[in-house]
Amino acid sequence: VSLVSLTANAMGASDLAAIKSLRTLRALRPLRALSRFEGMRVVVNALLGAIPSIFNVLLVCLMFWLIFSIVGVNLFAGKYGYCVNATSGIRYLTNSVVNNMSECVTLEGNDSWKNAKINFDHVGAGYLALLQVATFKGWLDIMYAAVDSRKQGDQPEYEINTWMYLYFVVFIIFGAFFTLNLFIGVIIDNFNQQKKKISRDIFMTEEQKKYYNAMKKLGSKKPQKPIPRPANKLQGIIFDFTTRQAFDIFIMVLICLNMVTMMVETEDQKETTTKTLHWINVVFIAIFTAECVLKMVALRHYYFTAGWNIFDFIVVVLSIMGETLPENSFVSPTLFRVFRLVRIGRILRLVKSAKGIRTLMFALMMSLPALFNIGLLLFLVMFIYAIFGMSNFAYVKKESGIDDLFNFETFGNSMICLFQITTSAGWDGLLAPLLNKEPDCNKTKEHPGSNVTGDCGNTFNFGVATEESTDPLSEDDFEVFYEVWEKFDPQATQFMEYNKLSDFADSLDPPLRIAKPNKLLLISMDMPMVSSERIHCLDILFAFTKRVLGEGGEMETMREQMQERFMASNPSKMSFEPITSTLHREQKEISALVIQRAYRRHLVSQTVNSPCYTLHEAEEEDPAVVDKERIITDRCNDDDH
């Protein structure tokens, strides 16, 4: 994006609509996070290493699909049309009422000939249709339309072309199952190869690897100091009782029974059943509480050195809270039900006694860092696509899979849609509204609070966005202004010294940039100045904006609105009142120079009364000073008028 912008500026084409429409690529900025997170870099490097193999498989798959797409175009191009009543939306399923497109348009009533959104009219459309078939989303409608198709322009007839079932069966076998397994196999094989390259035991035999892994695990373990038996006689009895294996087995049986009681609960159970289950649950809570207390007495402070004991303690405490807090207490009913659900946590105690489950849990825990890295990368990709969706599909007509929840109007809704797409659940419903064309949508529909018109999907909205991007100033221009400002005002004082203004103006990007030499132009802008010859950022921004947009009656109103909004979030400017301006400052400077020169001439004329001296002084006049005097004189005359 940066290279495109720099190239466009160098060629003088930065104002072209096609270049400014690339503003949408701002959504790619989060990719900069890849260089700052080691975990994501590892995942990306692994994916990049797999690209050559994946690319080869992709070419094979595209060739397979190209063959099926070409066959589909030859078989079904132009045959997915049908006659439909636009008022009722009823589709004529047989050719008894209408036989072809010509008869459809001559029927009385609001009837029209409509082409299916997903079709095989060309190879690109065929690829899209095959994608839906391969993902098994909306593929039945595509297949039924093919089986019912007749000649081009003829009304479909029910299963008149049953042999077309074979086309879809063959594609699903070779184009879906075969290619999917090929993809998965190549990716897994590539990752295994990369693992072997990175692994340091690549030159070991299998027996050596087993010995090395065992020694590595042994080295990571160390003897655990046993919990000492308490000296107190009563505590010793409790210690012996709670540390027996039979006690743990008894508790595990109770946990399983507690699971059974939770499974028995139903929504429409009788009142007696509810009370019975409630008291049974109270008994279980009492037993688990007694277990917790006994272990705390027996193990003393060592009780909290084991993670499972801490987990048991938390579950018991929350279970007691869930039973003792009434539903009409200060705690909301939702939070009350959450406390009740904590009872399910007791089931996890089974993990402590099951070696197989512990192995699986250990493998899951070891995989968490890698899963976190992959999840973070997936979130980054979904974030980018969510921004793209908001930019291009925010105002799509709400139908099929697009509704008040599943849409691209907000970032949250966009993420929900993308999550639905990643699970391959109903993504064809989201695609259908994006393919709308007139008369199925309205290109002139207005959206309050936005300059975008129409609800026909991406094509028209992108055109409107391109038209908007031709404005003289965009949001990007103001963002760049403040980005450059941070370099000249690192302390965020909101003020800039007058002597830095020229460099600052030259550092901006067009159209706000004022290239050097720019001192005279900056002086003529008459920007307010406060003490110590400082200028507020809002005054500079407004002056530069007025230079780009030109003088107008609405400029003063715009200035007031900008100042109100800025002061609401930045009240520090209220304590600084302008005492002069860039123009008045330069007027004073030039006036001082003129007075000094006149005074020097007066002194010299008293001592040296020679016409040659006067001529010599005239020849040595600074042309820059004369030029400034002319500029300021013209400005003063304009102010007087």
Task: Judge contact between 228 and 301, C-beta under 8 A.
Answer: no
The residues spanned by each domain of the chain are 2-18+366-468, 47-190, 233-353, 476-578, 586-640
DSSP H or E segment with residue 111:
strand 111-115
pLDDT, tens digit (0-9, with 9 covering 90-100), for 520-541: 888 777 777 777 778 878 788 8
Please give the Cα distance from 586 to 594 (Å, whole number): 12
Per DSSP, 337 falls in state: H
Please give the Cα distance from 481 to 219 (Å, whole number): 58
Between helix 123-134 and helix 38-76 the angle, nearest 10°, is 120
- pLDDT for position 269: 83
- pLDDT for position 290: 92
Binning pLDDT at 50, 70 and 90, where does residue 345 land? low
Residue 73 predicted with pLDDT over 70: yes
Which range in 152-156, 354-358, 532-536, 594-598 is most confidently predicted, on average pLDDT? 152-156
Helices (H), 77-205: 101-106, 123-134, 139-147, 165-171, 179-198
Between helix 38-76 and helix 355-392 the angle, nearest 10°, is 60
- pLDDT for position 294: 92
Binning pLDDT at 50, 70 and 90, where does residue 559 land? low
- pLDDT for position 293: 92
The mean-pLDDT minimum among 413-422, 429-438, 579-588 falls in 579-588
Task: Judge contact between 394 and 452, C-beta under 8 A.
Answer: yes
CATH of domain 47-190: 1.10.287
Give percent above pLDDT 70 in the chain. Answer: 63
User: What single letter denotes the amino acid at residue 136?
Assistant: F
User: What single letter denotes the amino acid at residue 415?
Assistant: M
Q: What are the E-state strand segments in 205-349? A: none
Q: What is the pTM of this model?
A: 0.47
Burial of 9 (0-12, 13-18, 19+ CB in 10 A): middle
Q: Would you tell me how many other CB atoms lie within 10 Å of the CB of residue 459?
A: 14
Topology (CATH level 3) of domain 233-353: Four Helix Bundle (Hemerythrin (Met), subunit A) (1.20.120)
Please give the Cα distance from 241 to 250 (Å, whole number): 12
- pLDDT for position 463: 42
The mean-pLDDT minimum among 30-34, 75-79, 502-506, 595-599 falls in 30-34
Q: Would you tell me how many other CB atoms lie within 10 Å of the CB of residue 482?
A: 11
- pLDDT for position 185: 80
Q: Which two tokens stand for residue 514?
A: 């004022």
Contacts of 596 (CB under 8 A, 6+ apart): none
What are the distances in angstroms from CA 472 to CA 126, 205, 392, 395, 563? 42, 69, 22, 25, 21
pLDDT, tens digit (0-9, with 9 covering 90-100), for 458-491: 544 444 444 444 456 666 677 778 888 888 888 8
Residue 177 predicted with pLDDT over 70: yes
User: Cα–Cα–Cα angle for 59, 60, 62, nearest 5°?
Assistant: 65
Residue 571 predicted with pLDDT over 60: no
Give percent above pLDDT 90 in the chain. Answer: 2
Task: Judge contact between 392 and 462, C-beta under 8 A.
Answer: yes
Residue 575 predicted with pLDDT over 70: no
Residue closest to 392 by CA, chosen among 490, 297, 462, 291: 462
**Residues 493-518, mean pLDDT to the nearest whole number:** 83
Please give the Cα distance from 303 to 290 (Å, whole number): 14
**Residues 264-272, mean pLDDT to the nearest whole number:** 84
- pLDDT for position 70: 92
Task: Judge contact between 104 and 98, C-beta under 8 A.
Answer: yes
Which range in 213-217, 293-297, 614-618 is most confidently predicted, on average pLDDT? 293-297
- pLDDT for position 32: 64
Q: Would you tell me how many other CB atoms lie within 10 Å of the CB of residue 402?
A: 24
**DSSP assignments along 164-196, one per residue:** GHHHHHHHIIIIIIIHHHHHHHHHHHHHHHHHH
Buried b / exposed e across 338-359, counting CB within 10 Å, b at 16+?
ebbebbeebeebebbeeeeeee
Task: Judge contact between 364 and 11, C-beta under 8 A.
Answer: no
Strand-pairing partners, residue 581, are 528
Residue 66 predicted with pLDDT over 80: yes
Per DSSP, 199 falls in state: -
| Long-range Cβ contact pairs of 88-94 (< 8 A, separation 24 or more) | 92/155, 93/156, 93/158, 94/155, 94/157, 94/158
- pLDDT for position 202: 43
- pLDDT for position 201: 47
Residue scoring higher pLDDT (307 or 167): 167
Which range in 118-127, 246-255, 522-531 is most confidently predicted, on average pLDDT? 118-127
CATH of domain 476-578: 1.10.238.10
Q: Rounded mean pLDDT of the chain?
A: 73
Residue 635 predicted with pLDDT over 70: no
Please give the Cα distance from 92 to 83 (Å, whole number): 6
Residue 123 predicted with pLDDT over 80: yes
